[in-house]
Amino acid sequence: MNVSIHQDRLNRELHELALISDVPAPAVTRVVFTPADLRGRTFVRELCQDAGLQIREDAVGNLFARWAGSKPELPAVATGSHIDAIPNAGMFDGTVGVLGGLEAIRALVRSGFQPRRSIELLVFTAEEPTRFGVGCLGSRLLAGTLDASGGERFKDRDGNSLDEVRIKAGFHGPLSGVRLPAGYCHAFLELHIEQGPVLEQQQIGLGIVTAIAAPASLRVSIEGPGGHAGAVLMPQRHDAFLAAAEIALAVEAAVLSSGSEDTVATTGVCEVFPGAVNSIPSRVHLEIDVRDIDQTRRDEVLRKIDRALAAIALRRGTAIQTEIINADPPARCDQLVIEALRRGCQIHGAAYEFMISRAYHDSLFMSLIAPAAMLFIPCRGGVSHRPDEYSSPEAIAHGVLVLAEALAQLAE
């Protein structure tokens, strides 16, 4: 089988998709179900149609583009990622796995390969948590870890529910029908930029992912009486922001006490009300991300944070409420798919390293319903979620070649 990657075309398609954005290049912003996101979906859908793939979309907007095999009744081999992008992001996160997955299929078609199992490209809805506060929305629904009540429960900052927004975007039907039936997938592979510096620093071309870190997301609301910045003396204050500052430091302390570099946490959102220089903050909204590849260790960090919140509330005289948005299990990648990727690297002379993914991806949830693994390509400086995110056309083509080889092995 002589597989070749059209590197120039793939690079051009990545740049064309990057221009479909709510902000000027080189930054990319494509928040789910916004006009930019819908134009991006149209762009990818048309490329898949041009490739002769069978297209369908579900009620939340997950897109499936299938190359039918000689035994279409068998569970399919799937690959894919996402095209939504957080505000002021780069052009490679997720899109390499979508357009690279499409090019892997096109390369196999060009080679004359005839798959026994169908090969399917998946474009997942809302991998990023930007709009509704929960990541991997589409793959959670596909895996059945999120039920249809999320359609009304999840709201954006303007108060619009997921159901309202998706229906307005043209995606109809009950969310209960999104879950994939048992045995739908024989295997799932996701090509992605590393979003870290390891491959570049070690000058290794590819990373085969063996485990994906488990995320937990918390929303914390702190309330105090507030008051005039000049009239309320320091001993009488119950400053909601100072309580929030203590919480952020307590999160850091809980993580550092875990004893593992694989435990990380970030207090990434801090909204202060009323936000006036001469008014004592009376309300603060925090959002906290905690993750680890070891669920027991991560959950112990969550318990330490919970105890710290109670102590801070008592000491500061503030009311603190916590909501756990999600606390997902870590994923161990499947040996079947890992071996297919390893053989692909060997066949094409690609140096590789076994590694873990500290960022989480749709593969985490696909691993609950199918054997799954990921293939990383290096990105410059380990930079991601920024406009200067970059992976070279050669590195991308290298990853797509190995992906195509692994897809062919699993589809035979």
pLDDT of residue 401: 98
The gap from C-alpha 208 to its chain's centroid, in whole angstroms, comes to 17
pLDDT of residue 1: 76
Structure tokens of 239? 């400053």
**Rounded Cα gap, residues 191 and 208, in angstroms:** 10
Nearest to 398 by CA among 193, 248, 169: 193
User: pLDDT tens digits, residue range 265-310?
Assistant: 999 999 999 999 999 999 999 999 999 999 999 999 999 999 999 9
- Is beta strand 119-124 parallel, antiparallel or unpaired with respect to 63-67? antiparallel
Query: Which whole-number Å values give the CA distances from 347 to 342, 365, 402, 405, in the listed order?
Result: 9, 29, 8, 8
pLDDT of residue 120: 98
**Rounded Cα gap, residues 309 and 53, in angstroms:** 52
Answer whether 7-213+330-411 and 214-327 agree in fold: no
Angle at 168 between CA 164 and CA 174, to 5 degrees: 60
Query: Which whole-number Å values give the CA distances from 109 to 42, 327, 334, in the listed order?
Result: 23, 40, 26
**Secondary structure of 76-125 in HEC code, one letter for each residue:** EEEEEEECCEEEEECCCCCHHHHHHHHHHHHHHHHHCCCCCCCEEEEEEC
pLDDT of residue 215: 83
Task: Say if domain 7-213+330-411 classifies as CATH 3.40.630.10.
Answer: yes
**Rounded Cα gap, residues 100 and 10, in angstroms:** 7
Structure tokens of 62? 């997950």
Class of domain 214-327: alpha beta
Mark the ranges of the chain whose per-residue pLDDT is less than 70: none
pLDDT of residue 133: 85
Q: Three-state DSSP class for 385? A: coil
Residue ranges covered by each domain of the chain: 7-213+330-411, 214-327
pLDDT of residue 56: 98
pLDDT of residue 167: 98
pLDDT of residue 338: 98
- Is beta strand 206-212 parallel, antiparallel or unpaired with respect to 352-357? parallel
